[in-house]
């Protein structure tokens, strides 16, 4: 439910960005991204915190083992509460796809999410074996990907502004 809700906002961002991009409405493109970031952060905060608050009850559907529920709650605290970062991480490539740029954001997403987690698991996790240290790679990879995507977005927007000024 959390992913689908955040992804719906990303799809809307891509659609509205592409519409405004095609008619040259640069300020509206910026507004779409800003509004979608607020919406995505709000939805993921409510659902992510809700998943954590009601996590024991939901996990209780699958198991009655207190230790398993405790581990599940630790995972939920690390992955659902900061899920707004994942929403932001998806929005920037969504906006870039709306502007006709999909290849580089896709590569950056794979490098940022998968690459960061692989480096984390092979480089750091063996020295600090704990559930927390393993799952902290999720928000860590989201932050790394956001930074890479933001740089890509900055270059594309800068180029778009130059093209509009030249036209």
DSSP-assigned states of every residue in the chain: -HHHHHHHHHHHHHHHHHHHHHTT-HHHHHHHHHHHHHHHHHHHHHHHHHHHHTHHHHHHHH---HHHHHHHHHHHHHHTTTTHHHHHHHHHHHHHHHTT--HHHHHHHHIIIIIHHHHIIIIIGGGS-SHHHHHTHHHHHHHHHHHHHHHHHHHHHHHHHHHHHH-
Tens-digit pLDDT profile for residues 111-141: 999 999 999 999 999 999 999 999 999 999 9
Closest CA to 90 of 4, 22, 21: 4
Tens-digit pLDDT profile for residues 12-57: 999 999 999 989 898 999 999 999 999 999 999 999 999 999 999 9
What local confidence, expressed as pLDDT, does residue 164 receive?
64
What local confidence, expressed as pLDDT, does residue 163 receive?
67
- pLDDT band per the 50, 70, 90 thresholds, residue 68: very high
Asked whether the beta carbons of 101 and 156 are under 8 A apart, the reply is yes
What local confidence, expressed as pLDDT, does residue 167 receive?
56
- Written as six digits, the tokens of 22 are 């095609």
**Virtual torsion, Cα 104, 110, 113, 115, nearest 10 deg:** -110
Q: Mean pLDDT for the chain?
A: 93
Asked whether the beta carbons of 89 and 150 are under 8 A apart, the reply is no
What local confidence, expressed as pLDDT, does residue 162 receive?
62
Closest CA to 157 of 12, 8, 6, 34: 34
What local confidence, expressed as pLDDT, does residue 130 receive?
94
What average pLDDT score do residues 139-155 get?
Answer: 95
- pLDDT band per the 50, 70, 90 thresholds, residue 158: confident
What local confidence, expressed as pLDDT, does residue 157 receive?
85
What local confidence, expressed as pLDDT, does residue 166 receive?
58
């Amino acid at each position: 439910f959390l992913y689908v809700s955040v992804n719906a906002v990303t799809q809307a961002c891509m659609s509205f960005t592409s519409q405004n991009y095609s008619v040259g409405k640069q300020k509206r493109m910026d507004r779409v991204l800003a509004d979608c970031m607020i919406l995505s952060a709000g939805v993921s905060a409510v659902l992510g915190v809700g998943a954590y608050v009601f996590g024991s009850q939901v996990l209780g559907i699958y198991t009655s083992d207190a230790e398993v529920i405790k581990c599940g709650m630790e995972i939920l605290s690390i992955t659902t509460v900061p899920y707004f970062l994942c929403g932001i991480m998806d929005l920037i490539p969504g906006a870039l796809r709306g502007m006709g740029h999909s290849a580089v954001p896709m590569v950056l997403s794979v490098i940022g999410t998968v690459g960061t987690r692989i480096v984390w698991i092979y480089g750091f996790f063996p020295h600090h074996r704990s559930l927390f240290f393993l799952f902290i790679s999720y928000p860590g990879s989201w932050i790394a990907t956001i930074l890479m995507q933001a740089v890509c977005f900055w270059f594309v927007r800068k180029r778009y502004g130059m093209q509009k000024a030249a036209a």
